[in-house]
Structure 1
């Protein structure tokens, strides 16, 4: 249940999450140095419509709160969900570069853990 909530909360993507250890892209992205300032702008463009600007999400629409859940997920889990999507959250693999995903991760970590 927790992964479902995080998935919906993490940027609004679709099904097919792969685990970080099975997806070499995840390890590559996690190793990048993300920029939280750039990530904030990207979050506003791609994520805030579902996860809200303040990260509270909308549980009634199955968009989980990042405030409550981001600190419980590993970097690898978050990146995999962003890349592949899960439940109500679409995949952003074709929309965001590796660096942009790293930037969004840096913003999520700096803001909500």
Structure 2
């Protein structure tokens, strides 16, 4: 399985389950994608928080690690870029929030996906608001096409939450 197909499979599975999983893990607090859209996330604060918490792995300019599509010896992938060249914009807000708060391993394991994610959870270091600020900063750097695509995926995710 190629790294690209792994990302696509992870994205499909994660978007379907992340919101329910996050809801149960967060004690029922509203951390859905709709909450982010309607929030007043602070992009400037997110930029500072990104530099302090994310840049060491994902790059000061959101460029990610070299060879981020090639698995390491342990099967994990290097940190991907969060700029338009990466895949962050392929995912709905709820998935991005869950991955940041809980970490990749926990989110994927809860979904029965066996993947050695190197993404740690930041729920113990960052408040939910700070995570939303970081995501708002990352999204603010994308070109219009990527922002529009990601917004559509988030809207689809919100709509699917109402289908349950």
Q: Under a length normalisation based on structure 1, what TM-score does the superposition of the two structures give?
A: 0.77
Which residue in the other structure is 1:41 paired with? Answer: 48
The alpha-carbon deviation at position 5 of structure 1 amounts to 9.3
- Measured in 1, the distance between the counterparts of 2:80 and 2:122 equals 17
Q: Does 1:66 align with 2:82?
A: yes
Structure 1 residue runs without a partner (length 5+): 7-17
- Measured in 1, the distance between the counterparts of 2:51 and 2:59 equals 9
Distance change in 2, residues 1:49/1:4 (3 Å)? farther
| Aligned partner of residue 28 in structure 1, secondary structure | coil
- Measured in 1, the distance between the counterparts of 2:56 and 2:87 equals 17
- Show the 5 A alignment for 1:93-104: 93-104=123-134
Given that 1:39 and 1:105 are in contact with CA atoms closer than 8 Å, whether structure 2 keeps it comes out as: yes
The higher radius of gyration belongs to: 2
Which residue in the other structure is 1:111 paired with? Answer: 141
Runs of 4+ in 1 over 3 A off after TM superposition: 3-6
Q: Under a length normalisation based on structure 2, what TM-score does the superposition of the two structures give?
A: 0.55
Given that 1:5 and 1:65 are in contact with CA atoms closer than 8 Å, whether structure 2 keeps it comes out as: no
Cα-Cα RMSD: 2.5
| Aligned partner of residue 33 in structure 1, secondary structure | coil
Match of 1:88 among 118, 123, 127: 118
Which residue in the other structure is 1:51 paired with? Answer: 58
Using CA pairs below 8 Å that are at least 6 residues apart, which structure has the higher relative contact order?
A: 1
Q: Between Structure 1 and Structure 2, how many residues are aligned?
A: 102
Structure 2 residue runs without a partner (length 5+): 1-5, 12-16, 71-76, 105-116, 148-164
